[in-house]
Amino acid sequence: MIDLIKNINKLHTTKMGAERIRKNLQIENDDVVQWCKVRILEKSTKIERIGKNWYAHTDNCRITINAYTYTIITAHKVKILSA
């Protein structure tokens, strides 16, 4: 099992991180950590580790998590390229 999923309850972020995620994803949710957890745990989410970070790709967004501290660093909308 992926370490990120095994340690999902360790996910957290800073106040600035939460504000950045809300702004980048244009969400109004007060609990961005819970919002991210739900997205990460969806079956369709693709998770990969590159260097010191985990990247969760889901719902047209990419969530970046530090692999050592489980801090959610940021999240961004991902543009879908059409054929």
- CATH number, position 14: 3.30.2310
42 inside domain = yes
Domain carrying residue 37: 3-77
82 inside domain = no
* pLDDT tens-place values along the chain, 83 residues long: 589 999 999 999 999 999 999 999 999 988 999 999 999 999 999 999 999 999 999 978 999 999 999 999 999 998 876 65
46 inside domain = yes
83 inside domain = no
Q: In the chain, how many domains are there?
A: 1
> In 15-51, which positions are buried (b, 16+ CB within 10 angstroms) versus exposed (e)?
eebbebbbeebeeeeeebbebbbebbeeeebebeeee
33 inside domain = yes
Residue 2 has a pLDDT of 82
67 inside domain = yes
